[in-house]
Amino acid sequence: MGVESSVLAFLKRYRYLLLALMIAASLVNAFVRFAGDGRDFIGAVAVHGWFVQAVFAYLRGGWVGLGPGGLAKDANPMGRAALAATAFGFYLLMFTYGGASNDDPIHEKTASDWTMPSREEFRRATAP
């Protein structure tokens, strides 16, 4: 139990530095991955912020909110820790977010996109 409490004490002592590093990493990731695409940039930063606030709330001993619910500061410590760990896991997972797909919507496809080429089209394609 001593190792867990010393790690938690270390994280709580440097919670503002950890907060700054998490925010900086989120912004750098968003700038690098979504330069020029404002919608995906704002979405990635917002979701990162949502998870960062849950981790920081746990470290400062406040209400840990994630999604439509959360756990109060006097709730089960293991539940609060699990919720904060889940938020941190999703925070890390958000670094793999690639943005919206840029494929053409289905209503912009033509009939030739859906049909197989004819024999004549195959012959023209292989002829020198």
Q: Is the dihedral of CA 20, 22, 25, 30 positive or negative?
A: negative
What pLDDT digit, counting tens, does each position of 53-108 carry? 999 999 888 888 888 888 888 888 888 889 899 999 999 988 887 766 666 666 66
Report how far residue 46's alpha carbon sits from residue 108's, in angstroms, rounded to the nearest whole number: 31
Question: For residue 45, what are the contacts with CB-CB under 8 A and spacing of at least 6?
Answer: 26, 27, 30
Instruction: Report the first-to-last Cα separation within the chain, whole angstroms.
Output: 76
Report how far residue 98's alpha carbon sits from residue 40's, in angstroms, rounded to the nearest whole number: 9
For residue 109, the model assigns a pLDDT of: 67
Report how far residue 102's alpha carbon sits from residue 5's, in angstroms, rounded to the nearest whole number: 47
Q: Domain map of the chain by residue range?
A: 2-100
3-state secondary structure of 17: helix
What pLDDT digit, counting tens, does each position of 17-43 carry? 999 999 999 999 888 888 777 788 888
